[in-house]
């Protein structure tokens, strides 16, 4: 059966990112973590492949065993629709902490409250309050 998942490539921070995301969002689950062992391509103990979900959206991630000349870009971001002002405030504060704010949390013509940030790993997030 064909599946579509967001795939995130880190260089030694995959587990830290998973821990951040699963601590901030409700309805999360880590279904699989496979780690590099001794004498393998990656750093022993880092994530060879992990699978987790945030509100039924599947994510996969790795700690790349190769140092690439690129990282995440804000051209692609994870868009989250929030159900309450408390939720959007909490998520934005947690995701933007030690990261970068591209659009501050504020009302915009397209959303009652919206914010765009990159977390401390460089993953871009757009958060929007669901209009009632």
The domain that holds 118 is classified in CATH as 3.30.720.110
Residue at 71 is within a domain: no
pLDDT digits (tens, 9 = 90+) for 96-117: 999 999 999 999 999 999 999 9
Contact 69, 17 (CB under 8 A): no
- What's the confidence (pLDDT) of residue 1? 76
Residue at 30 is within a domain: yes
Question: Considering only CA atoms, which of 66, 25, 65 is closest in space to residue 47?
Answer: 65
Q: Number of structural domains, the chain?
A: 2
Residue at 18 is within a domain: yes
Residue at 83 is within a domain: yes
Range(s) of the domain holding residue 118: 78-129
In the chain, the N- to C-terminal Cα span, in Å, equals 36
Q: What is the pTM assigned to this prediction?
A: 0.92
3-state secondary structure of 88: helix
Residue with tokens 């914010």, as numbered in its chain:
115
- Cα–Cα distances (Å) from 46 to 21, 49, 95, in that order, read 17, 9, 22
Residue at 68 is within a domain: no
Q: Kindly state the percentage of the chain with pLDDT values over 90.
A: 92
Query: Do both 34 and 59 map to the same domain?
Result: yes
């Amino acid at each position: 059966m064909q599946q579509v998942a967001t795939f995130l490539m880190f260089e030694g921070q995959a587990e830290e990112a998973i821990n951040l995301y699963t601590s901030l969002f409700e309805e999360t689950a880590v279904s699989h973590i496979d780690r590099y062992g001794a004498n393998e391509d990656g750093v022993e103990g880092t994530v060879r492949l992990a699978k987790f979900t945030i509100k039924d959206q599947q994510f996969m991630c790795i700690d790349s065993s190769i140092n690439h000349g690129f990282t995440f870009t804000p051209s692609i971001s994870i868009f989250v629709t929030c159900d309450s002002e408390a939720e959007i405030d909490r998520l934005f504060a947690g995701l933007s902490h030690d990261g970068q704010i591209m659009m501050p949390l504020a009302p915009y013509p397209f959303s009652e409250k919206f914010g765009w940030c990159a977390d401390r790993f460089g993953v871009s997030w757009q958060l929007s309050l669901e209009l009632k």
